[in-house]
Structure 1
Amino acid sequence: MKRLSKMYDRFYEQILDEHEARRRRAGAGEFVASDLVDVLLQLAEKGRSESSEAKLTRDGVKAFIQDIIAGGTESSAVTIEWAMSELLRRPDAMASATDELDRVVGRGRWVTERDLPDLPYIDAVVKETMRLHPVGPLLVPHHAREDTVVAGYDVPAGVRVLVNAWAIARDPASWPDEPGAFRPERFLGGGAGAGVDVRGAHFELLPFGAGRRICPAYDLAMKLVVAGVASMVQGFAWRLPEGVAPEDVSMEEHFGLSTRRKVPLVAVAEPRLPAHLYAGVE
């Protein structure tokens, strides 16, 4: 735990150092905050010059960053488990994902963030997983600010409104080709989902919500999940335990803070990269 704590502290320090260096290059008078870390560092600097007891320190900024990263850990892990479940149920899709990684990245190194734009099939796998298994199927509760009418229904001001993203993503009107089936190909050229994004601009797919209450870390979450699935598929050959057929894999859901699998996924992994690449993985 102590070693892990020190490793994370170095990581957070690197983030702060990069932001501070960018600020110094721009100059104090010309610098404009571009993200939350910039704002937090400005507040910490302001706090050092004030007498208030409630000050934001550098350690406080690092703690805030840690909360943001940790807050998305469960949802990202749940989505990756669903993606691997779906791929194991469709060996042809697993083969397509593996072939893409071998073609684009090869087996001489690990996939990195820079490779992600060149992995459209892996991206499609993640989008299809989020369509079928949104972590928050009803999103976060919304509040009607004024009386309105939606699809002929009166919605009075002050009521709580829930958006059923799970049902929307399985609506045959938006997803005509077997909406309940796992088909990453629908997000590639010519498919019904080609051009559909997950960042709230297309209402037929809202895994992160939309508008002012969209998940603030949607971009980070998308990169984490795509990179996670890519690393697992690239690094290991996956198969189900002896005697378990793809159609036998349970896909029952358990609703809690996130919608995870009711039964944890059990699979067998065999390394498929050179041994020295695994030596540096902690």
Structure 2
Amino acid sequence: MAEEILKTHDLSFCSRPLLLAFRKISYDGFDIALAPYGEYWREMRKTCMLHLLSAVREVSRMIQKISQHISLSETINLTKTLTFFTRTTICRVAFGKRYEPGSGESKEFNQIIREFQMAVDKLVGKIDHLENICKKWDLFYQQLVDEHLLPDRPKSMDGDVVDIMLQLREETSMSSDLPLDHIKAALMDVYFASTDTIATTMIWAMTALIKNPSAMKKAQAELRASFGKKQMVEEEDLAVAHMPYLNAVIKEAMRLYSTAWAISKDPEQWKNPNEFLPERFLEGGKCLSMDLKGQDYRFIPFGAGRRICPGMTMAMATVETVPGNLLYLFDWELPAGVRKEDVDNDILPSMTLHEKNPLYLLAKEFI
């Protein structure tokens, strides 16, 4: 059935229904996720695919922060750490800004994120509340646009997603008009579709590993045997290295904690579908060639067909590089008195699978 919809009859199904609540958060369906399939959608998707590339620049900052926690013998809220990392990375790529933790601007930004997520999680009813939240986001997006139009804007805004879209808006070569509302709609996708899915994938991967110590040790052994004593594993290192077990861990986390596709836990397709078993993606010491690009319809974490996720390249670079560094540089354990059985898999009601309870861990520096 998935192949029939996403391949054989892809053109018939590639446009999506625009329900009332989704219409409000997408500026009448002009974001990338909900815009009707056609010329406008192709232009916006191309822009994001070209400019929302891998930007794992915050990894070293995150590593330094974890080292500080270790020096103070502090328990690390890994959920908070990975969520902040992802938000900061996306903000730098999309908005050309970094919201420093503890600043008034950062607190305000995080508050409207929480309000937005709570509103979207309750799409049925509460439309007035959702409209108020959307007005706050509209003001936020407008402020970003205004800042990018200033002659003395920060250099960090050069070439970010907002900048590129504003340039497209001025070009006569663009085949369709690009009102500011359409730019704002695309920014909503860039931020929320990226931060939630990337952060939750990494958090669930680390949750699964702490509950399966033998799998964690295998991933660490693979990384440490490959890279010796580096201060940090770069994205380029992982691109050329042979990391079948790490790759299998990431794929299994995506399969087990898929946000939308129930087929990833279909017992007719997967043996013991509710168990975390990276080995299911391994064969003869190699990771099976499920390429995540929608060719194997048992496993389509980024969707398939014409509407496959445009941020897949950045997402995969991030969810490999960040856990790769966490496992390579640090040994992880549960706080005193906490057993692996105490780490639950409870999920908050949400469009993405947020953990109900944060993941708290202790870390020790390996190198």
Give the TM-score category using the shorter length: 0.5 to 0.7
Per-residue CA shift, 1:37-74, capped at 9, x if unaligned? 998587256259xxx9x788xxx99x978973664122
Query: What is the rounded CA distance, in whole Å, between the counterparts of 2:347 and 2:286 in structure 1?
Result: 26
Q: SS at the partner of 1:268? A: strand
Among 170, 190, 196, the residue aligned to 2:265? 170
**What residue is the counterpart of 1:198 in the other structure?**
292
TM-score by length of 2: 0.50
Q: Deviations over 1:201-259 (max 9, x none)?
A: 11101211111222221121111111111111122211011122222210112231311
Give the secondary structure class of the aligned counterpart of 2:325: helix
Q: Equivalent residues in 2 for 1:28-67 (5 A)?
A: 40=165, 43=168, 46=171
Separation of aligned partners in 2, 1:99 and 1:10: 41
2:301 is the counterpart of 1:207:
yes
1:261 aligns with 2:328: no
Matched, 1:86 2:183: no
- Larger Rg computed on CA atoms: 1
1:131 to 252, 255, 262: 255
- Aligned twin of 2:41: none
1:100 aligned to 2:222?
yes
Partner secondary structure for residue 254 of structure 1: coil
Q: Which residue of 2 aligns with 1:230?
A: 324
1:47–1:55 Cα contact (<8 Å) kept:
no
Normalized per residue, the structure richer in helix is 2
Q: CA deviation at 1:193?
A: 7.7
Q: 1:100 to 1:193 in 2, by over 3 A?
A: closer
Number of residues of Structure 1 aligned to a counterpart in Structure 2: 215
Change (3 A) 1:243 1:39: closer
Match of 2:236 in 1: 114
Decide whether the 8 Å contact of 1:89 with 1:246 is kept in 2.
yes
Tell me how far apart the structure 1 counterparts of residues 286 and 236 of structure 2 sit (CA, whole Å): 27
Partner SS state of residue 243, structure 1? coil
Q: Is the contact made by 1:175 and 1:192 (CA closer than 8 Å) also made in structure 2?
A: no
Aligned to 2:313: 219
Instruction: Give the alignment's TM-score, normalised by structure 1.
Output: 0.64
Q: 1:263 to 1:227 in 2, by over 3 A?
A: same
> Which stretches in structure 1 are left out of the alignment for 5+ residues?
17-35, 138-164, 274-282
Deviation per CA, 1:106-152: give whole Å up to 9, x if none.
Answer: 22221111122322211111100000001x22xxxxxxxxxxxxxxx
Write the distance in 1 (CA, Å) between the matches of 2:233 and 2:188: 24
More contact order relative to length (CA 8 Å, sep ≥ 6): 2
**Farther-moved stretch of structure 1 (77-86 vs 254-263):** 254-263
CA distance in 2, matches of 1:192, 1:234: 20
Q: 1:190 to 1:112 in 2, by over 3 A?
A: same
Paired residues of 1:237 and 1:270 also in contact (CA < 8 A): yes
Asked if the contact 1:113–1:223 (Cα under 8 Å) also holds between the matched residues in 2, the reply is: yes
Deviation for aligned residue 1:198: 2.0
In 2, the alpha carbon distance for the partners of 1:258 and 1:45 equals 35
Can you list the C-alpha shifts for 1:6-51, whole angstroms capped at 9, x where unaligned? 76565553x57xxxxxxxxxxxxxxxxxxx9998587256259xxx
Residue 97 of structure 1: how far off its partner (Å): 0.9
- Structure 2 CA distance for aligned equivalents of residues 229 and 93 of structure 1: 13
Give me the identity figure in percent. 36
CA RMSD across the alignment? 3.6
Gaps of 5+ in 2: 1-87, 99-153
Counterpart in 1 of 2:63?
none
Q: Alpha carbons of 1:38 and 1:131: their partners in 2 closer, same or farther (altered >3 Å)?
A: same
Partner of 2:102: none
Q: Give the match for residue 75 of structure 1.
A: 197
Cα distance change, pair 199–90 in 1 and its aligned pair in 2 (3 A): same
CA distance in 1, matches of 2:212, 2:334: 11
